[in-house]
Structure 1
Amino acid sequence: MAPTSCSPPLASTATFSASQSAATRTSPSSKRFFPLPSRPPRPGLHLRAGSLREWREFEDAVESKDLSRALRFLQSVEPASYPEAATSAGTQVALPMPPGRDWEVLDACIDANDMRLVGRAYQFLSDRGVLANFGKCKNIVLEGLREVTPTILREMTGLEAAKLAPKKWGLSGNSPYVLATFLGGVSFLLTQGVDVRPNLAAILGLATADALFLGGTCAAQISCFWPPYKRRILVHEAGHLLTAYLMGCPIRGVILDPFVALRMGIQGQAGTQFWDEKMEKELGEGHLSSTTFDRYCMILFAGIAAEALVYGEAEGGENDENLFRSLCILLNPPLSVAQMANRARWSVMQSYNLLKWHKKAHRAAVKALESGHSLSVVIRRIEEAISSDLQPSEVAQESA
């Protein structure tokens, strides 16, 4: 299955898998360093790796987005330990790994064509204890109500169902005023003897060509220069990213530039690309379990839920909704209209509450994306926000 992508006025989608127990274990960095010995190491002990030249090779692999080479290097560097831990002759001990360098392997995921390789990168960091919260909420799809009426949705989120639905054709609460202003401006120019009809025809022709041949890339790029619109996109995409991460779905990257997305084959829109190994396997076998589909739908509707959480209503996400409908039709048997509506309400309610529980992490992700940070930094900010949000009792429980 190709990596899925998501976005609001851009393009978005979602999925789930994997698991990792949350929170405060021994800091990964503390496991990665050992004090330089004040005395020569015992005979038979050989230090390896960690030279500046070798780490330069890792930097080059990350910069060139060569995930396979970057991951292979990290796998060759064992977590640092004290020399005294080596008892047998010939034991090799890695020199200290520079702080935070292992996170950078995630920045090489964006150009990876093999999503299994992306999955291995996340699994590697999880095994090292770096991604403590990756997949910690994957079992949420097994909990709670299954039938969600508009009344239950309002009780659980405090919002009407209409507030949790994307605006069609880009319409929002201010659309009537924008349209009235536009028509008023055109009328004024006509009364002043300025014939704007040829210009309007040219603009409409260019917009049509953009929609047909570029998937709306130019229009999306122009819209991104409007700060409120750009901010809403960041909120939307951070919702997809955080939900996919908590559900254990490896994230390939977040593409916010429509032209970059176009070069990657995502016409007209950007979004969050993630991968669900279990879903790919099930689809390859010709079936899709309810649990896997639920997980996918939660990530798919997480962008809409994020907008509703921050702004009180959603505007983007029409592409997510369309993808949801197309997948529902492909199921065997396909979902009815009533079943689709219930599944959509359940998904957006679950995503809304999940993001509400992790509001601090969502804000951290938005801020990191807004600052133009790479994927590794965004995920690190998420981990830091979740860890700082833990109560002392939770810390003790997780440590136990």
Structure 2
Amino acid sequence: MEQTSLNLVAIAVFVMTLSALLSPALNISPFIPAGTTLGILTLATLDSVSWGGRGLTIFLDLFATPQQRQRVIHHEAGHFLAAYCLGIPITSYTLSAWEAFKQGQPGLGGVQFDLTLLSDTKTIQKTPLIIERTLTVLMAGIAAEMMIYDNVEGGEEDKKNLRAIMRIMGISNSLYQQKESWALLQAKNLIIRNQTAYDALIEMMEKRASVEACQSLIQEKINQIEVMT
């Protein structure tokens, strides 16, 4: 079951327990909280089976705090900046579950890349530079969170994708952590070098500017830095 489904199940159990404790004092029939909880669990199961948990993801995302939404933007801006600077094509981006749903993306979406070159094992083996850049892009969201918040709440899917690529490349499990650390360091350095562009990109993404507008802004900031130096 999807993590969002598990979250909702936990909420349902909590509500039922609380209702059971309060129902005698409030003169509420015990069948009401029990029926409500059963309904929630049924919906959670149907959503998990039929929609892959997307409905619950959208529902729970409605209750995200402004701080959580800011963290998402900072995370995705890290991916976006790294992808642009390293030449990984960006096709779109989303910053909420509803935006992701409208674009047909799973979960909360995020920055979408054109990774056509990675679909062929022979191409992967012949283009190690592209692989290194892709690994850096995947770790850039985590790097951004660490730099801004000193901790990381997202990025599990990024790590899964990174390890999937390394498996295709034939990298042994013992080297996973080393490669992750290397890519994380590269991503941090990239964001630091382009801090002005990163900060400006966050503002653009908050306004849901187009991919093209965001890319133009990054290039503009990079050009300004080059002129100054």
Both proteins in one fold, TM over 0.5 = yes
Residue type of the partner of 1:199? T
Distance 1:384 1:241 in 2: 15
> Which secondary structure state, in structure 2, belongs to the residue aligned with residue 308 of structure 1?
helix
- Contact 1:255–1:271 (8 Å) recurs in 2: yes
TM-score, normalising length: structure 2: 0.78
> Which secondary structure state, in structure 2, belongs to the residue aligned with residue 296 of structure 1?
helix
2:136 aligned to which of 287, 298, 304: 298
- Contact 1:217–1:259 (8 Å) recurs in 2: no
Kindly name which structure, 1 or 2, has the bigger radius of gyration based on alpha carbons. 1
Distance 2:16 2:38 in 1: 13
- Higher RCO (CA-CA < 8 Å; seq separation 6+): 1
What does residue 232 of structure 1 align with?
Answer: 71
1:11-46 deviation line (CA, Å, top 9, x unaligned): xxxxxxxxxxxxxxxxxxxxxxxxxxxxxxxxxxxx
Counting only pairs closer than 5 Å after superposition, residues 188-227 of structure 1 correspond to structure 2 as: 188-193=18-23, 194=28, 195=30, 196-225=33-62, 226=64, 227=66
What does residue 255 of structure 1 align with?
Answer: 94
Displacement of 1:264 in angstroms is 4.3
Change (3 A) 1:345 1:257: same
Q: How many residues align?
A: 213
Displacement of 1:307 in angstroms is 1.2
What does residue 380 of structure 1 align with?
Answer: 216
Residue type of the partner of 2:139? F
What does residue 155 of structure 2 align with?
Answer: 317
TM-score, normalising length: structure 1: 0.47
Does 2:117 match 1:287?
Answer: no
- Contact 2:47–2:53 (8 Å) recurs in 1: yes
> Which secondary structure state, in structure 2, belongs to the residue aligned with residue 373 of structure 1?
coil
> Which secondary structure state, in structure 2, belongs to the residue aligned with residue 253 of structure 1?
strand
Change (3 A) 1:327 1:198: farther
Change (3 A) 1:270 1:289: same
Displacement of 1:275 in angstroms is 2.5
Residue type of the partner of 1:302? A
Structure 1 gaps of 5+ residues are 1-168, 395-400
Displacement of 1:346 in angstroms is 0.8
Change (3 A) 1:202 1:295: same
- Contact 2:138–2:162 (8 Å) recurs in 1: yes
Counting only pairs closer than 5 Å after superposition, residues 1-400 of structure 1 correspond to structure 2 as: 183=14, 187-193=17-23, 194=28, 195=30, 196-225=33-62, 226=64, 227-262=66-101, 264-276=103-115, 279=118, 283=121, 285=123, 287-331=125-169, 334-390=170-226, 392=228, 394=229
Change (3 A) 1:287 1:307: same
Residue type of the partner of 1:337? N
The root-mean-square deviation of aligned C-alpha atoms, in Å, is 2.9
- Contact 2:78–2:198 (8 Å) recurs in 1: yes
Displacement of 1:390 in angstroms is 4.5
Displacement of 1:389 in angstroms is 3.9
Structure 2 gaps of 5+ residues are none
> Which secondary structure state, in structure 2, belongs to the residue aligned with residue 313 of structure 1?
coil
Residue type of the partner of 1:356? I
1:169-197 deviation line (CA, Å, top 9, x unaligned): 68xxxx9xxx89x94x6544322225433
Residue type of the partner of 2:144? A
Distance 1:228 1:214 in 2: 28
Displacement of 1:257 in angstroms is 4.5
Displacement of 1:335 in angstroms is 2.2
> Which secondary structure state, in structure 2, belongs to the residue aligned with residue 294 of structure 1?
helix
User: Percent identity at matched positions?
Assistant: 26
1:92-140 deviation line (CA, Å, top 9, x unaligned): xxxxxxxxxxxxxxxxxxxxxxxxxxxxxxxxxxxxxxxxxxxxxxxxx
Change (3 A) 1:350 1:364: same
Change (3 A) 1:189 1:286: closer
- Contact 1:261–1:270 (8 Å) recurs in 2: yes
Distance 1:313 1:213 in 2: 34
Residue type of the partner of 1:261? A
- Contact 2:88–2:134 (8 Å) recurs in 1: no
